[in-house]
Structure 1
Amino acid sequence: MAINEKPDTLPPLVFGDARTPVSNDISEYVQRVARVLTGLEYYECLGSPTQFQSKSFAVDINGLRLVANANTPVTAKVGDSSDTTLMVPFQGRNISTVGPAALDWDANESAVLIPCVAREGHCTTRSNLNIDIDPRRLRRTAAAMLGREPDRVIDLGIDRPRRVALNQGPVSFTRLLSHYCGAIDALLEAPAALDASGIDEAIYRTLAMMFRPDLFIVEAVPSLRDRSGKEGAIDRLCEALRTSLDQRHTLTDLEERSGYSARNLQYLFRKRFGLSPLEWLREQRLQAARQRLLAGDYTTLGGLAYACGFTTASQFSTAYKTRFGETPGRRPGQRHRIKPCGDARLAAVDSPSRVLRSEGLAPTRESSPRVKNQESGERARRPLPGG
């Protein structure tokens, strides 16, 4: 494939574009690339250096490193590296040469996987997303998605350089990754929220589907009959979650604890509780927080929020008000009706007057009639001053 060395208009980054100025200094850009790309030997612009333009932005989400970069045509060489990298093009054309093989990868068609090997490459004006993969975490995620033991070996084909299709039937991985990048962009000002968002987990799940679409898109999920030897797994999972509400739990964690795949977990939880697993977990967090609020068993709302697994006090307050119709700062002990959640029928709490009346303590119309003047039958009135 011939590469057009004429620079076009620099495309935007997939995230961080508004926060990143355009650089025309190839030397400065090479230094930035070398900080995130181990083994870089050279990086040169194609065409006139005066026309070179580039931008790059990197984020780390719970150990998952993502680099968005855009540049006019360049050529580069990388020696042996410790990184396994998936390079996803969002705009432009690329060629990577690994040994005798030349891998071309174009936007909306294919990405390229480079596992810890030397390579050379060149490109047109482009915008890419580079994903540094932890092979162990990826295999663990794939095993959990399939409902298999974490240490069971699953061949994901990540030990050799290859092209990876960006479309599998109705599934567009470009659109999925673009969606995640948009979410990252929206959370760049809130690093704690970015770490708590689960975007890293979603990306690893997407990578598993990209590398083995035959397992996750074509092949049917194992039948529930295959899981008959794990009776009580859901009960044990629920109990474990109730005793660790202060911890972060992902869908992969739930899969590993229960031995069920994500799809089977969704089915079993909705059948039993009327909620998805993560909806059920949030309900447990909110119910635990409510019990402690009513009992006065807390020091600050922020401390209570963290103890029940919420990232921030504001996140807790919003979720609590949505669930119970009031803020958690309301005076404990006030009674009100609670909205039902899913199919779990939560009875409305009786008002104080109904409780008193049911116990024979509240005044009734018969036991406390209006006082009347016995002679005239008119209502007794308090005399006015001087009357």
Structure 2
Amino acid sequence: MPNKTTLPPLAFVAPAPWEEVDAEAMSERLNTFGTARVEYRPRRTADPFRSLSAGLQVGRLRLSANSCSAVRYRVSSVAESFFIIPMDGEGETIQERRSVRWRAGEGGAFISRADAVGFSTRRSVLGVIIDEAEIAALARHMLNGDHRPPDLRVSQPLAFGRGGFRFDVLFRRLLAAIDGCVQEPTVLARSGLDDAFHRAIVMWMQPEAFLAAAERMPRRPRVDDVCDYILANLDKKLTLTMLESVGGLSPRVLQYAFREKFGCSPMQWVRDRRLEAVRTHILNESAEVSISTIASQYFSNLGEFSQKYKAHFGELPSETRRRRAVS
């Protein structure tokens, strides 16, 4: 009779996940990867067993996803450390009499290179296999050398709500981004999502240290990012909504920031920079290029442009050109 055990979805979209309904067969298949010796058994002998598994390489990031009925397991000859990020269900891993519990919505775990036993309910978990030296080097960079990198010798539980972050939400969003690229391997490899995931892992292990290091770093005001965007796109359509999105600022905060720094609104600042761009062109372009041709690159209403130009510079555009010709 076929196994009808329903399972929660895998952590990421897998084009070709493999399914097993026999715990011994699953153990043998996992053992072919060589990272550890794994032995799975149904949590209760009489219970049916079913498992879905998949692996994914994203640049330097190695992910594994497993959705499984309730099991007991034993792991030996462990060659690599890894993180458990539960998407559904809960479990416990025991190493050298140290118990590490993990549960969807509450927390995951870092599992060091050591033999372990454990159990889990019906679950879906994401495994993140790491290069310890790479994670340690990244941590030193992110923490500005002010804090010791995370201790990767000892397994430990890691709450999802730490340092004001919700890391389960962060990981799900990164996985959603990976899902969006999974059908395009070249795009996925160049997406930078492997670096983003590794950085999220470092933050997850030491959120307080990361925040302390970030506080000491010189901050570039967000309004400067908005200004850079405006200057790079003066000849394109610009709206307040676009500027709010670029700066990650609310309408009120954006308006306040510009008035505090420049004494005008964001769109007034845009207009003034466009007027200055037109003036620069008039002073440098050949007289064969008409003023209307220059101005139309930045303004749709040429009559209003002339009025604003005179109000800003105290002369009409044509007067600017005549002065240039005389000089």
How does the TM-score come out when normalised to structure 1?
Answer: 0.56
Write the mapping of 1:1-387 to structure 2, written as runs, cut at 5 A: 9-17=6-14, 19-20=16-17, 22-36=19-33, 38-47=35-44, 51-148=48-145, 154-217=148-211, 221-222=215-216, 224=218, 264=219, 267=220, 271=224, 274-275=227-228, 337=235, 347=277, 355=286, 357-358=288-289
The Cα shift of 1:18 comes to 6.4
Cα gap change, 1:37/1:78 in structure 2, threshold over 3 Å: closer, same or farther? farther
Q: Which has the higher helix share?
A: 2
2-side partners of 1:125 and 1:46: how far apart?
A: 10
Tell me the distance in 2 between the aligned counterparts of 1:180 and 1:45: 31
Say whether the 8 Å CA contact 1:139–1:154 is kept in structure 2: no
Deviation at 1:269, TM superposition (A): 8.7
Tell me: CA distance 1:50–1:37, structure 2 relative to 1, closer, same or farther (3 Å).
farther
1:110 positional shift: 1.9
Equivalent position amino acid for 2:75 in 1: V
**Matched letter for residue 288 of structure 2:** R
Residue by residue, what CA displacement relative to the aligned partner does 1:102-132 show, whole Å, maximum 9, x if unpaired? 2221112121211111111111110001011
**RMSD value, Cα:** 3.7
1:296 maps to none
Q: Match for residue 385 of structure 1?
A: none
Q: Is the 8 A contact 1:26 1:49 kept in 2?
A: no
Q: How many residue pairs align between the two structures?
A: 254
| Change in 2 beyond 3 A, CA 1:271/1:46 | same
SS at 1:96's partner residue?
strand
Structure 1 portions without partners, runs of 5+: 1-6, 225-263, 284-322, 325-336, 360-387
Per the TM alignment, residue 65 of structure 1 is displaced from its structure 2 partner at its CA by 0.5
* Amino acid in structure 2 at the alignment position of 1:186: G
CA contact (8 A) 1:24 1:50 kept: no
Letter in 1 for 2:184: A
Alpha-carbon spacing, 1:358–1:126, altered in 2? closer, same or farther (3 Å) = closer
CA offsets, 1:149-204, max 9 Å, x none?
Answer: xxx87231222111111111541111111111111122111111111111111111
Letter in 2 for 1:13: L
Cα separation, 2, equivalents of 1:25 and 1:44 = 9
User: How many Å separate the matches in 2 of 1:184 and 1:223?
Assistant: 30
Runs of 5+ unmatched residues, structure 2 = 247-268, 291-327
